Structure 1
Amino acid sequence: MPISDQLLEEGEELWHAQKTHPFVTELADGTLDEAAFRHWVEQDYRYLLDYARLFSVAGARARDERTMTDLVSIAHSTLAEEMDLHREFAADYGIAPEELETVQKAPTCEAYTGFLIRTAYEGSLAEIAAALYPCAQGYLDIAAHAAERADGEHRYTPWIENYTSEEFRDVVGRIREFVDRCGEQYPGEHDAMREAFLTSARLEHQFWEMAYTREGWAVES
C-alpha cells in the first residue's frame, strides 16, 4: 500500500472530524455565518503564504528535476491562483488586498504555519512531504463531501467548485506522488512522516474550529 494511503488510514478519525465539523457542514448547506467565512478567508490567506513557502523550500532541497519542477510549480500556482481566489472572496466582504496582507494570524494559524516552516528548515524532505499532504488532500476530500451534501447552489458554491476542480485534483495528485516517492526512497523515515502528517491533520481540524469560533488573541497589542 502506498504510504499516502497508509497515512490517510492513520488519520481516518481526524478526516471524519473535519467532514462533520459545523464549519464544513454549514458551508455545504449554505448556512455558514458570513463572519466565520470571512475569518477563514483572512486567516487562510496568511496561511497560504507560508504554505507556498514550504513548497518553495522543499523544491530547493529536492535532488531530482521532476520533484523540483513539481514543487516550485505548486508554490507558484498557490500564490498566483489560490490566493487570487481568496482575494476575490475578500472583495465580496469589502476587504482590500492590502488589508489581507496585514491581518494578524490567530493563535491556531500561527501554530500551524510555525510548524510548517519549522519542518521546512529542520525536517527531512520526507517529513516536509507528509506535513504538506493533509492540507491538499483534506481540502479535496472535504470539498467533495460538501458537494455531495449541498442541495443546489448557494453563496459558498464557488468554494466547493474550486476545491473539487480538475485543476485542484491535478495538484493533489502530484502531491500524493511526491509523498509516495518519499515513502519509497526513505523507508526509515516512515515514523517521522506519520508524526508530521498527524500533526498537520490535527492543526487542519483546529483551523476549522478557529474560523468557526472566530478565534483571536485574548490580549491584543
Structure 2
Amino acid sequence: MTLFDRLVDASADDWRAYVEHPFVEMMAAGTLPEAAFRHYLVQDYLFLIQFARAYALAAYKGRTMEEMRYGLDGLRAILDGEMALHVKYCAGWGLAPADLEAADEDMPTTAYTRFVLDWGVRGDLLDLHVALAPCMIGYAVIGKRLAGIPGALSPENPYAPWITEYSAEGYQSVGAATIAHLDALAGGEVGQARFRQLRDLFAQASRLEAAFWQMGLDRA
C-alpha cells in the first residue's frame, strides 16, 4: 500500500465526507445552485494564491535539488498556468478578474490555507505535502468518480467542464505523481507514532476540504 492508501484507510469517514460531499454530488447531477459554484470559484482563486505560497515554502524546505525543483515546479504550475486558466474559466461564469481580486477570503478558505502553511512552517516537508494531499489527490479522485456517473459529462450539465478537467489524463497524472512523491518523502516504512501524526494531519485537511465545499452551499 502507498502512504496515501494508508492515510485514506485510517481517515475513511473524513475522506468520504470530503470526496462524496453533496456539493460534488450535485455537480455531477447538474443540480448545484449556480450561486454556490460562483462563490466556490472566487474562493478557489484566493485559495490558489495561498497554495502557491505553500509550494514556494516546499522549494525552500527541500533537502535536495530534486525536492527543491518539485516545489518550484508546483509554484510555476500554479502561477503561470492554473491561475490564468482559472481566471479564464471564471469569465465564463460572469466573474471578471476585478471580481476575484476584490473578494475577501471566506473563513473556510482562511482556515484551510493557513492550516497548510502553518504545518509547512513548523513541520517537515512530508508534513507539508500530506497537508496538501487531500487537495492535490482528492480532486483527481473526485473527477474520476464523477466522470463515471451517467449524465455527469452531458453537454447540458453546466459543471461538465469542471468534471472533465479533473478526470482528464493531465490531472490524473498530477494525482498519481503526488502519491508517488509522498512515498518518496516518507522514505520507506513509517513508524506508528509518526503515522498517527500524519493521519491526524491528513484527516484535518480532509475535514477542511469538506468545509470548503460546504462554504459554497451555505452561500447559495
Q: TM-score, normalising length from structure 1?
A: 0.90
Aligned to 1:208: 213
How much has 1:146 moved relative to structure 2? 1.2
Number of paired residues?
215
Aligned to 2:204: 199
Letter in 1 for 2:181: F
Aligned to 2:65: 65
Q: Does structure 1 conserve the Cα–Cα contact (< 8 Å) formed by 2:2 and 2:179?
A: no
Letter in 1 for 2:118: R
How much has 1:21 moved relative to structure 2? 2.1
Q: Does structure 2 conserve the Cα–Cα contact (< 8 Å) formed by 1:18 and 1:24?
A: no
**Partner SS state of residue 187, structure 1:** coil
Aligned to 1:121: 121
Aligned to 1:168: 171
How much has 1:150 moved relative to structure 2? 4.2
Alpha-carbon distance change, 210 to 195 in structure 1, aligned in 2, over 3 angstroms:
same
> 1: distance between equivalents of 2:158 and 2:11?
30
Letter in 1 for 2:182: V
Q: Does structure 2 conserve the Cα–Cα contact (< 8 Å) formed by 1:90 and 1:96?
A: yes
> 2: distance between equivalents of 1:126 and 1:70?
13
**Partner SS state of residue 32, structure 1:** coil
> 1: distance between equivalents of 2:169 and 2:140?
10
> 2: distance between equivalents of 1:70 and 1:125?
11
How much has 1:140 moved relative to structure 2? 0.9
- The one-character-per-residue Cα deviations of 1:179-220 (angstroms, maximum 9, x if unpaired) are 1122226835333222221111110111111111128xxxxx
> Which runs of 5 or more residues in structure 1 are unaligned?
216-221
Letter in 1 for 2:207: R
Q: Does structure 2 conserve the Cα–Cα contact (< 8 Å) formed by 1:50 and 1:116?
A: no
Moved more, 92-101 or 20-29: 92-101
Alpha-carbon distance change, 102 to 186 in structure 1, aligned in 2, over 3 angstroms:
farther
Alpha-carbon distance change, 137 to 114 in structure 1, aligned in 2, over 3 angstroms:
same
Aligned to 1:92: 92
Aligned to 2:8: 8
Q: Does structure 2 conserve the Cα–Cα contact (< 8 Å) formed by 1:18 and 1:142?
A: no
Letter in 1 for 2:175: V
Aligned to 1:219: none
Matched, 1:182 2:185: yes
Alpha-carbon distance change, 99 to 110 in structure 1, aligned in 2, over 3 angstroms:
same
Moved more, 52-61 or 169-178: 169-178
Matched, 1:78 2:82: no
Moved more, 125-134 or 1-10: 1-10
**Partner SS state of residue 149, structure 1:** coil
Alpha-carbon distance change, 99 to 79 in structure 1, aligned in 2, over 3 angstroms:
same
Q: Does structure 1 conserve the Cα–Cα contact (< 8 Å) formed by 2:58 and 2:120?
A: yes
> 2: distance between equivalents of 1:8 and 1:138?
10
**Aligned-pair RMSD on alpha carbons?**
1.8
Q: Does structure 1 conserve the Cα–Cα contact (< 8 Å) formed by 2:126 and 2:182?
A: yes
> 1: distance between equivalents of 2:197 and 2:102?
34
**Partner SS state of residue 31, structure 2:** coil
How much has 1:99 moved relative to structure 2? 2.3
Q: Does structure 2 conserve the Cα–Cα contact (< 8 Å) formed by 1:87 and 1:97?
A: yes
Q: TM-score, normalising length from structure 2?
A: 0.90
Q: Does structure 1 conserve the Cα–Cα contact (< 8 Å) formed by 2:18 and 2:207?
A: no
> 2: distance between equivalents of 1:53 and 1:117?
8
